[in-house]
Amino acid sequence: MRNRIRTLEEAERIFELTDSEREAITRRSQRSGELPLGITPYYASILDRSQAEQGLRRTKIPTLEEFEIAVDERPDPLGEEDHSPIPGIVHTYPDKVLFLVTDFCATYCRYCTRSRMVGSGEFQSGPSKWQAGIDYIEAHPAIRDVLISGGDPLILSDPRLDWLLSRLHAIPHVEFIRFGTKAPAVLPQRITPELCDVLRKYPPIYMSIHFTHPDELTQEVQAACNRLADAGVVMGGQTVLLKGVNDSIETMKALNTGLLRVRVTPYYLHQCDPVQGSMHFRTPIQTGIDILAGLHGHTTGYAVPYFMIDAPGGGGKIPIGPNYVLGRDGDDVLLKNFNGETYRYRDPDFQS
């Protein structure tokens, strides 16, 4: 963590930067805090030193494109602030909450949906800041599912995580605790046996791990995922669909089948949120639908995630995908299979 690449000088020592990258890093370091540059040495090792077009490199090193704001783009595209009863809690759905426990990440993604707040250092984390969130959860018995995110909660120390988990675990109506994190992919050495011992104490722990590309599945990352699985953590993968990075069936199939080999079930493929400066990453919605159609039936069903659009303005996640229902013919439903062939299913007791 101490050796993260955070300045133009540090980036220049490792990468051959383009003018656009150099200027974007400079502009970012002049604006206080907003989506800073931050790359772990481990993650830098999987980025291309000279090819600025490399997909994964574009997700971590800013370019001037990220300062172009399209008409539909917002600092808070999901309207999280409107669903936030107290700082750190986002309560959009009836029985689950998002609990933002830090604004800090080991490595910052340039398309971050929370770019408005990550890395600012304003959102100091720690037990005194979390108490209000814990009190809120305690006071709302409908909440049975707490999703700890941020920032990246796994950058917190083991004692702090232990404290937080013990408090949440002690609330009788909290059945389910999960983490949203990219730490296993950007800082696999964080997944220590000691961390696993903490997680093991509070079952069931689920983890949605942010993965972007099959090149992230190094030996180190695979070992980290296996340590988490051995500690009883149930893992799902979540991926943001990104233009020129992972927007092909082939790449997504390699990523998702690779995740299954290390006991991570692909859960969500996210349409990129319209956050400010994201246009160079956003794909047409059809791209995601085509990827799902290219996976379903063509590979293991567990390798097919839900494709989600998080409704701008705070409507929540909406699943979309290929349409396999062609219509009706009398009592029959006409269905398209994965090969595009039509089949019929006689709908029991259908009243036409």
Peptide bond into 315 cis (omega under 30): no
Minimum gap (Å) between residue 98 Cβ and ligand PLP: 4
Minimum gap (Å) between residue 328 Cβ and ligand PLP: 30
Please name which of 214, 262, 213 lies closest in space to residue 236, comparing C-alpha atoms.
262
Specify the residue, 70 or 318, whose C-beta has the smaller distance to ligand PLP.
318
Specify the residue, 36 or 180, whose C-beta has the smaller distance to ligand PLP.
180
Specify the residue, 67 or 206, whose C-beta has the smaller distance to ligand PLP.
206
Minimum gap (Å) between residue 208 Cβ and ligand PLP: 7
Minimum gap (Å) between residue 260 Cβ and ligand PLP: 19
Minimum gap (Å) between residue 24 Cβ and ligand PLP: 28
Specify the residue, 62 or 133, whose C-beta has the smaller distance to ligand PLP.
133
List of residues 6+ apart from 101 with CB closer than 8 A? 88, 125, 130, 133, 148, 149, 150, 151, 153, 156, 164
Minimum gap (Å) between residue 280 Cβ and ligand PLP: 24
Specify the residue, 6 or 140, whose C-beta has the smaller distance to ligand PLP.
140
Specify the residue, 98 or 191, whose C-beta has the smaller distance to ligand PLP.
98
Minimum gap (Å) between residue 177 Cβ and ligand PLP: 12
Do 262 and 222 form a contact (C-beta atoms < 8 A)? yes
Specify the residue, 21 or 76, whose C-beta has the smaller distance to ligand PLP.
76
Do 344 and 333 form a contact (C-beta atoms < 8 A)? yes
**Residue 285, CA distances (Å) to 50, 288, 292, 294 in order:** 31, 6, 11, 15
Written as six digits, the tokens of 210 are 């942010």
Q: Which residues bind ligand PLP (CB under 6 A)?
A: 90, 92-93, 96, 98, 147, 317
Do 70 and 268 form a contact (C-beta atoms < 8 A)? no
Query: Please, which residues bridge with residue 333 across strands?
Result: 328, 345
CA distance linking residue 196 with residue 47, whole number of Å: 28
Amino acid, res. 49:
R
Do 179 and 156 form a contact (C-beta atoms < 8 A)? no
